[in-house]
Amino acid sequence: MPSATAWGAMFDPCDDAALLDLLAALDSGGYDFVTTTPATHARVVARSGHGTTLRDLLGWSRIVPPDALDPALRTTLERAKVVETVEGGWRSRIRVTRLRGRLFVHSPFPTDDPNAVFLGPDSYRFADFIVEELARDSICRNVVDIGTGSGVGVIVASGPASPARFAMTDINPDALACARINAAHAGLHVDALLGEGLADFAGEVDLALANPPYIIDEGERAYRDGGGMLGGQVSLDMAVEIAARLSPGGRLLLYTGSAIVAGIDGFKAALRGAAADAGCTLRYRELDPDVFGEELDRPAYAEANVERIAAVGAVLTRR
């Protein structure tokens, strides 16, 4: 069990031990929920108001009358302090999602808060990318998940990889708190480092995992805003920093997105140059040719004539 978690404002005062009990109860009860994109989520919840099931409460972030829930689960939810009373019933302060067989705690819908802890379709693609790449070679001593969010990267990597040390970093205390709970539920001990990039991680890295933001976000929310280069700057800067810390033969598995203009992937070209400068080889491929299409209506994309946003996977390996 993790030590008392320093929750940020969003989840304070959630109770760690009770939250782990809740996840255990959900697991044993077969709870299942797949988190969609925000646009899909909004469409689904717009069809009806209040909910009646555990999935409505913990998945779809609907208001649910407490007496519609199992009494034992009601008690556990109250102990974990993850529900609040509103008009019409309870509203959850967390979502719980199942990904590759494991349960993950993250932020409720809508994820408008600057410190929201996001998990969605990108997380599923990121997890599949990790599993596929580690099937090639899973031998490593130090694994670091940079900008861990809900901890998907490091938890998924803990299956096929057998390192001496797992670590995760994030600038958001709520993200680290969620990731620590999720790791504890998965039976994994992870060093949690609050800070940006690898600033607080000592030593070389054998396997780095990163799923940085890549969308242009007018609100500049840290979990979502990819910065310049039509959303690619944060990913490029992160790759440059991590490449310098890789051990010989060490790898960075980078899952991100690239805005394609007139058929040209400018992020790929920039990353290829950065990898060469860092003494790394690069493998790069599109994992999904068209994600978050609704974003193309935003002025920054329309003015640049972006024709699609592709989800991409890149592997940088230190020579």
How does DSSP assign 174-205, residue by residue?
HHHHHHHHHHHHTT---EEEESSTTTT--S-E
pLDDT over threshold 90, residue 140: no
Per-residue b/e over 248-274, b at no fewer than 16 CB within 10 Å?
eebbbbbbbbbbbeeeebebbebbeeb
Cα–Cα distance measured from residue 302 to residue 271, given in angstroms and rounded to the nearest whole number = 24
**Residue-wise pLDDT tens digits, 229-272:** 999 999 999 999 999 999 999 999 999 999 999 999 999 999 99
Cα–Cα distance measured from residue 51 to residue 62, given in angstroms and rounded to the nearest whole number = 6
pLDDT at 163 (0 to 100): 60
Domains annotated on the chain, with CATH: 16-106 (no CATH), 121-318 (3.40.50.150)
Work out the average pLDDT over 148-153: 97
Cα–Cα distance measured from residue 179 to residue 115, given in angstroms and rounded to the nearest whole number = 14
Work out the average pLDDT over 270-277: 98
- Residue where the block lists tokens 């596929």: 132
- Residue where the block lists tokens 């994992």: 287
- Return the structure tokens found at 28: 């044993």
Cα–Cα distance measured from residue 268 to residue 276, given in angstroms and rounded to the nearest whole number = 12
**Residue-wise pLDDT tens digits, 40-94:** 999 999 998 889 999 999 999 999 999 999 999 999 999 999 999 999 999 999 9
pLDDT at 3 (0 to 100): 46
Entry pTM: 0.94
Cα–Cα distance measured from residue 292 to residue 37, given in angstroms and rounded to the nearest whole number = 8
**Residue-wise pLDDT tens digits, 161-203:** 566 689 999 999 999 999 999 999 999 999 999 999 998 898 8
Yes or no: say if 141 and 166 are a contact pair by the CB < 8 Å rule.
Answer: no
In this structure, of 5-9, 211-215, 276-280, the range with the lowest mean pLDDT score is: 5-9
pLDDT at 1 (0 to 100): 44
- Residue where the block lists tokens 């992937």: 265
Per-residue b/e over 96-106, b at no fewer than 16 CB within 10 Å?
bbbbeebbbbb
Percent share of the chain, pLDDT over 90:
84
